[in-house]
A and B are shown apart, each in its own frame.
Chain A
């Protein structure tokens, strides 16, 4: 079945450094969603990308969907301690959502 691989699994950064997580698939994706889960919390929807090459920004967060629609990235500029958490990518078919394994981000003050 369809799988999405996410790297890295963990990332520790100093506050103020940039951070990027990548989501890769061997098959073409119809869409990609990104979620954030704070420690001890539940996943919260951030954004959805559907078009080839699409780029969307939310303040310090930049989301990209690859030209071939097989990969996506989330980039955070100048991380802050509030960015701590696990970032998941997800894709959906007709009725099923498939989540990546997540990237856990730690920000050191």
Chain B
């Protein structure tokens, strides 16, 4: 099993550009989520999905869109990149959301917006 994979590993964008961060998992997990990690702020939940066709907002959803057309894939779209979105982005999956399930994280995407 590859686990959770993310592409790209690094990305530099100009302000106003859009892009999609890819995330895939091969563990047949129903729950997938996106976090951003900024220095001193831990991991903050952007969006999550409890299954194909179902998504919901997390703590910091503004400026990001998600969709979940398959169990395996959960892409994160930046609509119009801003310098405040410079961060490390992690995708995670688990068998279920909520209590009782460990999350498996991907290797992360380091995004810089200039």
Contacts and interface: CB of A to CB of B under 8 A. Distances in A.
Interface residues of A, number: 27
B58 A96 contact: yes
A96 B101 CA distance: 11
A45 B97 contact: no
Instruction: Sort chain B's interface into a size bin.
Output: 20 to 34
Interface stretch (A56-64, A73-81, A97-105): A97-105
A43 interface: yes
A96 B34 CA distance: 11
A50 B107 contact: no
Given A9-B40, A42-B105, A102-B42, A92 B56 contact: no
A94 interface: yes
Contacts of A28: none
B43 interface: yes
With most chain A CB atoms within 10 A of its CB, the pick from B35, B48, B92, B98 is B98
A35 B42 CA distance: 11
B42 A97 contact: no
B43 A92 contact: no
A50 B105 contact: no
Contacts of A35: 103
B73 to A, nearest CB: 18
Nearest to A88: B42
Contacts of B41: 101
A42 B107 contact: yes
B29 interface: no
Given A44-B105, A101-B42, A92 B99 contact: yes
The 7 A-B residue pairs with the shortest CB-CB distance in the complex, in nearest-first order: A95-B97, A45-B102, A42-B105, A99-B43, A101-B42, A99-B42, A31-B99
